Amino acid sequence: MVDPLLTDLYEFTMAAALVAEGRAETPATFSLYVRNLPPNRGYLVAAGLHEAVRFLRAWRFDDEAIARLAETAPFDPAFLDWLRRVHFTGRVRAVPEGRIVFASEPLLEIDAPFGEAQLLETALLFLLTFPTAVATKAARCREAAAGRTLVDFGLRRAHGGEAGMMAARGAAIAGYAATSNVAAAARYGFPASGTMAHSFLTALAGNDPAGELGAFRAFAEQYRGDPVLLVDTWDTAGGIDNAIVVAKELEAGKLGNGGRRLAGIRLDSGDVAALARLARKRLDAAGLPDVAIFASGGLDEFEIARLLAAGAPIDGFGVGTNFATSADAPTLETVYKLVAVDGRPMAKHSAGKATLPGAKQVWRRPGFGGDVLGLADEPCPAPGAEPLLEDVDVDGRHDDAEATAAARRRFEADWSSLPLEYRDITNPRRYAVAVSERLKALSDNAPGPG
Amino acid sequence: MVDPLLTDLYEFTMAAALVAEGRAETPATFSLYVRNLPPNRGYLVAAGLHEAVRFLRAWRFDDEAIARLAETAPFDPAFLDWLRRVHFTGRVRAVPEGRIVFASEPLLEIDAPFGEAQLLETALLFLLTFPTAVATKAARCREAAAGRTLVDFGLRRAHGGEAGMMAARGAAIAGYAATSNVAAAARYGFPASGTMAHSFLTALAGNDPAGELGAFRAFAEQYRGDPVLLVDTWDTAGGIDNAIVVAKELEAGKLGNGGRRLAGIRLDSGDVAALARLARKRLDAAGLPDVAIFASGGLDEFEIARLLAAGAPIDGFGVGTNFATSADAPTLETVYKLVAVDGRPMAKHSAGKATLPGAKQVWRRPGFGGDVLGLADEPCPAPGAEPLLEDVDVDGRHDDAEATAAARRRFEADWSSLPLEYRDITNPRRYAVAVSERLKALSDNAPGPG
């Protein structure tokens, strides 16, 4: 559960001012969107809503939280009383997880009493920002992998365990085959994957390269499934040959339970493209065309694309740190902007940071034929277009695995119809997001004197 | 509490193999260190140990965790029984938080039964990696700020709430003045800071620039402290003038409780250097030399250095996303390597990824006169040098705020004696880390045949 004090102090300060001014209950609308896409990005994959809704449902300030707040800053007792009663009473409209979205399109809009909506800003931002960034990164790796298997290996160097969960869920949404993260696998109904580390082989082999075959055998003997052997601990060519011996012994039913086979070998260092070619040649020559070659170690969409462009016969990629931190673009320019107060649209006209007024809807023409950003209450401004924001049932409970599977289905549907020019990982075409006539007119006139 | 399943599947697979082989109880030593420093880094600030020790103390697999694990992958019942009994029985030696360290120096070493130590790998990595990365980023911002005030604003776009807590704690360790994160302030005994957002002013002013002065007054009226006013919502020059009016009214005791003053103004957009000069001039001319100027918006060590080099009279910086995601280097190349099994040192000689054998100690000559990496059981190899790794009392409970304050004191001591050439944010001198004669001899001879 998210600590309700995981919030910027100024949200409390502003809510207290609203309470003092008698404006905390005034209806307000906030819109959460990404101002600009990071470098190389042509789209975003919406994610994080499932946890954001869980947060909204549970959001309360109990006496313990209020006591901690009161210790950090002086607040009026009337505000603390108000806080004791606060819970989410508003309405959420959002783009369902897994859908592809673009800059300036609301991921989520909140209609709620001003004080309440203001206090939710920080948590809604951190619950949507990184999940969307990392689901997008996952989709980019998927693009580069061009149909090959992808596995999330990112937990160990993610920004904490929660970030590792967010990355694994992004991987699940964007169609990865598995994650190494057991907690995420269990929670999101996603396969878990992984076999062995170098140090383990070193130890089993008594730190002696001559012991590699024995270590492979010992591991295959007791492993309850089709193993993947890590072949680059000492000499990779020798490791491939030792893996072939074990593959033959497994085929012959000589190791542990019968009916098993060597699933693959893993390369984690060196000139992976050249080593993969060598491995494929030797495996094929040994009559083992079905033993897969997996690569890992410092991979991201750029490196995967480079390996495949070099013709490396790799069947699957384990992507770790660079994926799970979205290393080339570790954040998104998400903002949470007030767009209406008391039914009155609010806009901001400052250069580069303009905010369009009013509650919104995003309309998408079929086949990604262009989106139109319109007002939530205007009729469809583009014939045949589909609305992206949907009402969210905040009190409805959704199973973690079901919600993840549904997000993945939505992603697959959008992904398969998104034209390749927008999916390019280094030079994507800019997707057209127009503004409806009504929204344009409102924006030109909204600010009254301002 | 950290879910014990927040671990890579292969740790369980390897532990199961060790149990099956009867080697799970063999004594082992693992060493956690950073292989190479990221670009522009001359040092690291050790952090994360406090939470890592909390994790070790609580580490257990209850029936619920074992049931979830069994759902994700098939394991031998004997292994699951072993897992039900596992808890940390080993010894931890670590560099205390807040100390400055360098590449290849162990942050932490674990002596424990092999199965146990193997299973701890993933969590120890994620509990130390980002905290150390972000504490280092905090120190770099401190270097750039050259004595000015720093405040952490990073929570909203951090990689989740846990990452936001790690960033705030890094800020506390590296000597920031405050954080916007209320949960972190309460937990780590760190001041909370922050006042208002643009949207709040827009709303209070009825979306009308002419209402800015009224909005400032209303805010100052009810605020329980010395306010900081955000002056760039509409026209910044006008905002500064309105803030001066409010400063005078506060001085005259005309707004709310008396005895208060305007603490400062905040600039969040535009040409901040030029606007800061304008603000300082007008504030000084109004007889308000003590009203501070704060800057925020897209700041990091590079931008802070640029602003100060341009002569901007800024008294404090709010650093957000780029700090809290360590955006230019969002991860560290941390590894957790097996360095001894059953008293026998283990090494790895592969190019670029060599591991030195044996349990270690880091010795530091006074005044950062060079470090020596030696064996844990050798006598001090450099006369007058101080050992950095200390025994950690895993069962001793340490208060969060006290542990943070102690880390900050250690940081200040190291920071004040670290020569400036190593602190440079773009072109630091490489610090000398030598290897002791004994460690060198062991490394040359250790691998036996391998």
Q: pLDDT-derived band of residue B367, with 50, 70 and 90 as boundaries? A: very high
Q: Which of A118, A122, A450 sits opposite B156 (nearest CB)?
A: A122
Q: Using the 8-state DSSP alphabet, how is residue B185 labeled? A: H
Chain A residues touching B216 at Cβ < 8 A: none
Q: What crossing angle do the helices spanning A161-173 and A121-145 adopt, rounded to 10°?
A: 50
Q: Are residues B286 and B159 in the same domain?
A: yes
Q: Which of A72, A194, A195 sits opposite B182 (nearest CB)?
A: A72
Chain A contact probe: residue of B11, B13, B229 with most A CBs at under 10 A: B13
Terminal C-alpha separation, chain A = 41
Q: Please tell me the distance in Å from A365's CA to the nearest CA on chain B.
A: 31
Q: What is the pLDDT of residues B245-290, one digit of tens each?
A: 999 999 999 988 778 999 999 999 999 999 999 999 999 999 999 9
Q: Chain B contact for A196, CB < 8 A?
A: yes
For residue B371, is pLDDT > 80? Answer: yes
pLDDT at B53: 97
Q: pTM value? A: 0.97
Q: Which of A126, A186, A204 sits opposite B71 (nearest CB)?
A: A186
Q: What is the pLDDT of residues A368-398, one digit of tens each?
A: 999 999 999 999 999 999 999 999 999 988 8
Chain B, 85-114: which have a CB under 8 Å from a chain A CB? Answer: 114
| C-alpha to C-alpha distance for B35 and B104, rounded to whole angstroms | 5
Interchain contact, A446 vs B207, CB within 8 Å? yes
For residue B446, is pLDDT > 90? Answer: no
Q: What is the pLDDT of residues B137-177, one digit of tens each?
A: 999 999 999 999 999 999 999 999 999 999 999 999 999 99
Query: Distances from the Cα of A237 to the Cαs of A206, A245, A270, A401, B380, in angstroms?
Result: 20, 13, 12, 41, 42
Q: Residue B384 falls within a domain, yes or no?
A: no
Rounded to whole angstroms, the maximal C-alpha distance in chain A is 84
| C-alpha to C-alpha distance for B60 and B323, rounded to whole angstroms | 34
Q: Chain A contact for B271, CB < 8 A?
A: no
Q: Residue A68 falls within a domain, yes or no?
A: no
Interchain contact, A222 vs B17, CB within 8 Å? yes
Strands A149-152 and A178-179: parallel
Q: Please tell me the distance in Å from A133's CA to the nearest CA on chain B.
A: 9
Q: Chain B contact for A159, CB < 8 A?
A: yes
Alpha helices in B223-313 (DSSP H): 236-251, 272-285, 301-309
- Phi, then psi, of B355 in degrees rounded to 5: -120, 130
| C-alpha to C-alpha distance for B204 and A17, rounded to whole angstroms | 10
Q: Is B150 left (phi over 0), alpha (psi -120 to 50) or beta?
A: beta
For residue B447, is pLDDT > 80? Answer: no
Q: How many residues does chain A have?
A: 450
Q: Residue B440 falls within a domain, yes or no?
A: no
| C-alpha to C-alpha distance for A247 and B10, rounded to whole angstroms | 20
Q: Are residues B158 and B63 in the same domain?
A: no
Q: Are residues B300 and B398 in the same domain?
A: no
* CB burial string A345-354: b at 16+ within 10 A, e below: bbbbeeeeee
Domains in chain B: how many in total?
2
Q: Which of B326, B330, B338 sits opposite A203 (nearest CB)?
A: B338
Q: What is the pLDDT of residues A156-209, one digit of tens each?
A: 999 999 999 999 999 999 999 999 999 999 999 999 998 888 888 988 888 888
Chain A residues touching B207 at Cβ < 8 A: 341, 344, 346-347, 446-448, 450
pLDDT at B448: 39
Q: Are residues B299 and B176 in the same domain?
A: yes
CB within 8 A of B444, min separation 6: which ones?
none
- Average the pLDDT over B57-61 and give the result: 97
Interchain contact, A196 vs B13, CB within 8 Å? yes
Chain B residues touching A28 at Cβ < 8 A: 203
Enclosing domain of residue A206? 150-322
Q: Are residues B148 and B241 in the same domain?
A: yes
- pLDDT higher at A69 or B354: A69
Dihedral of the alpha carbons of B81, B85, B86, B87, in degrees to the nearest 10: 160
Q: Residue A52 falls within a domain, yes or no?
A: no
Q: Residue A348 falls within a domain, yes or no?
A: no
Provide the percentage of residues in chain B whose pLDDT is more than 70.
98
Tokens of B389: 């790794």
User: Which of A45, A88, A142, A128 lies closest to A388, judged by CA?
Assistant: A45
Terminal C-alpha separation, chain B = 41
Q: What is the pLDDT of residues A77-112, one digit of tens each?
A: 999 999 999 999 999 999 999 999 999 999 999 999
Tokens of A317: 């990629």
Q: Chain B contact for A177, CB < 8 A?
A: no
Chain B residues touching A13 at Cβ < 8 A: 194-196, 223
Chain A residues touching B337 at Cβ < 8 A: 199
Give the 3-state secondary structure of residue B335: strand
Chain A contact probe: residue of B157, B353, B442 with most A CBs at under 10 A: B157
Q: Are residues B18 and B109 in the same domain?
A: yes
pLDDT at A221: 87
pLDDT at B450: 32
Q: Are residues B51 and B126 in the same domain?
A: yes
| C-alpha to C-alpha distance for B158 and A133, rounded to whole angstroms | 11
Q: Are residues B237 and B277 in the same domain?
A: yes
- Average the pLDDT over B421-446 and give the result: 94
Q: pLDDT-derived band of residue B235, with 50, 70 and 90 as boundaries? A: very high
Tokens of B144: 């750039």
- Average the pLDDT over B24-48 and give the result: 97
Q: Residue B197 falls within a domain, yes or no?
A: yes
Q: Say which residue the tokens 């290849």 belong to.
A: B104
Q: Chain B contact for A73, CB < 8 A?
A: yes
Chain B residues touching A114 at Cβ < 8 A: 203
Q: pLDDT-derived band of residue B397, with 50, 70 and 90 as boundaries? A: confident
Q: Are residues B196 and B265 in the same domain?
A: yes
pLDDT at A351: 58
- Average the pLDDT over B316-327 and give the result: 98
Q: Please tell me the distance in Å from A72's CA to the nearest CA on chain B.
A: 6
Chain B residues touching A185 at Cβ < 8 A: 9, 72
Interchain contact, B192 vs A344, CB within 8 Å? no
Q: Please tell me the distance in Å from B13's CA to the nearest CA on chain A.
A: 6
Tokens of A416: 């398969």
Low-confidence ranges of chain A (pLDDT < 70): 349-352, 446-450
| C-alpha to C-alpha distance for A354 and A347, rounded to whole angstroms | 7
Q: Chain B contact for A445, CB < 8 A?
A: no
Tokens of B307: 């602003």
Q: Say which residue the tokens 């990404």 belong to.
A: A34
User: Which of B270, B271, B275 lies closest to B243, judged by CA?
Assistant: B275
Q: Are residues B63 and B201 in the same domain?
A: no
Q: Chain A contact for B74, CB < 8 A?
A: yes
Following DSSP, what letter does each residue of B237-258 receive, concatenated?
HHHHHHHHHHHHHHHTT-SSSS
Tally of CB atoms within 10 A around A382? 16
Q: Is A368 left (phi over 0), alpha (psi -120 to 50) or beta?
A: left
| C-alpha to C-alpha distance for B62 and B3, rounded to whole angstroms | 11
- Average the pLDDT over B304-323 and give the result: 98
CATH number of the domain within which A234 lies: 3.20.20.70
- Average the pLDDT over B353-360 and give the result: 88
Q: Please tell me the distance in Å from B428's CA to the nearest CA on chain A.
A: 23
CATH number of the domain within which B80 lies: 3.20.140.10
Q: Residue B155 falls within a domain, yes or no?
A: yes
- Average the pLDDT over B93-113 and give the result: 98
| C-alpha to C-alpha distance for A246 and A248, rounded to whole angstroms | 5
Tally of CB atoms within 10 A around A420? 9
Q: How confident is the prediction for chain A on average, in pLDDT?
A: 95
Residue of B nearest to A167 (CA): B159
Following DSSP, what letter does each residue of A297-348 receive, concatenated?
SS--HHHHHHHHHTT----EEEE-HHHHTTTTS----EEEEEEEETTEE--B
Q: Are residues B344 and B303 in the same domain?
A: no
Laid out side by side, the sheet with A360-364 consists of A386-387, A360-364, A371-375, A433-435
Strands A371-375 and A386-387: unpaired
pLDDT at B352: 62
Q: Using the 8-state DSSP alphabet, how is residue A1 labeled? A: -
Q: Are residues B64 and B104 in the same domain?
A: yes
Q: Residue A35 falls within a domain, yes or no?
A: no
Q: pLDDT-derived band of residue B351, with 50, 70 and 90 as boundaries? A: low
* CB burial string B63-79: b at 16+ within 10 A, e below: eebbebbeebbebeeeb
Tally of CB atoms within 10 A around A64? 9
Q: Please tell me the distance in Å from A104's CA to the nearest CA on chain B.
A: 17
User: Which of B399, B328, B370 lies closest to B102, judged by CA?
Assistant: B370
